[in-house]
Structure 1
Amino acid sequence: MSASDDLPVVGTLAELTGLVERHQGLYVRWSRGPGADLADVSSTDDLTGAPMPGLSANPLDVEEWWQDRPVEVWVARRLYDYSHLPHEKGTDVRPWVLKGRETGRGPDNEPLVEDVRPLCWIDSRMIDEARAEVDRQENAWGPLRRTGR
């Protein structure tokens, strides 16, 4: 672990929701951590191997169309949608929160972020909490997952 990986840990969905409610421009990234990512500050397209101009991440900002729905459900969904990544990319892949500037879009239309400032790790137990929140919703939902060939 590098010094940039020595971050506070957000332990509950309520705590992360509070961050999202207080700050704009936050993203969640699933990776081996800021220490590995900030050495290059570039993600790579898995299909072609092409380097991209920034780190791929998912925005935590609540969209206007969400209106007065619970922010906690929004945050839970943002975590749950990519919760399959540790199983596909390795058990050392974890979610962490960053602040940054969007510089473009990746092949899945995800933001590419530069000027990255790591803020905190997301405790792995929070993924179970996010899954439970998603499961409580009226409609069935699953993580965004590509199937292999």
Structure 2
Amino acid sequence: MSASENLPVVSTLAEVARLVDRQQGLYVRWSQGPGADLAEASSTDDLTGVAMPGLSASPLDIESWWADRPVELWVARRLYDYAHLPHDKGPGVRPWVLRGREAGRGPDNEPLVTDAEPLCWIADEVIDAAKKEVARQEREWGTLRRGGR
């Protein structure tokens, strides 16, 4: 059994929010998992095929402009942004949380993370809950138009 198969699974937005509340420097990565990623520890730019100096990931740290809004809503917003990737990238792609060091930026200005320490998988039901939470905000926030969703 690989190390990635032994990772705990968070199954609620509240669990992810507690992680984000407790520590900084966390990222979510959408891929086939640490077992597939950590051998190379490098992402590839899909357009050019260029290897990048780290794993492409999305930061989970709460920005100061978020102010006193709920952490769960922040997490929902961050997960919602890339929830299309399993559809776009194919079978086996799922989100997992890691701690690491930012080594640069990718072509979409995403952090490229090195020294990745896998922490947990994020269950599908968390992504479903994130989508529902963002949809509930539409009247207040407006519409986020994302292709293919």
CA RMSD after TM alignment: 1.4
TM-score normalised according to structure 1 size: 0.93
The 5 A counterparts of 1:1-149 are 2-137=2-137, 138-142=140-144, 145=147
Please give the alpha-carbon distance, in whole angstroms, between the structure 2 residues aligned to 1:141 and 1:75.
Answer: 18
How many residue pairs get aligned? The number is 146
Equivalent position amino acid for 1:139 in 2: W
Equivalent position amino acid for 2:52 in 1: M
Q: Deviations over 1:51-76 (max 9, x none)?
A: 00000000000001111111111100
Please give the alpha-carbon distance, in whole angstroms, between the structure 1 residues aligned to 2:26 and 2:97.
Answer: 7
Secondary structure, aligned partner of 1:135? helix
Please give the alpha-carbon distance, in whole angstroms, between the structure 1 residues aligned to 2:145 and 2:122.
Answer: 17
Please give the alpha-carbon distance, in whole angstroms, between the structure 2 residues aligned to 1:129 and 1:34.
Answer: 24
* Runs of 4+ deviating beyond 6 Å: none
Equivalent position amino acid for 1:13 in 2: L
Aligned-pair distance for 1:144?
Answer: 5.0
TM-score normalised according to structure 2 size: 0.93
Gaps of 5+ in 1: none
Please give the alpha-carbon distance, in whole angstroms, between the structure 1 residues aligned to 2:100 and 2:147.
Answer: 25
Equivalent position amino acid for 1:30 in 2: W
Q: Identity over the aligned pairs, expressed in percent?
A: 71
Higher helix share: 2
Aligned-pair distance for 1:145?
Answer: 4.9
Equivalent position amino acid for 1:60 in 2: L
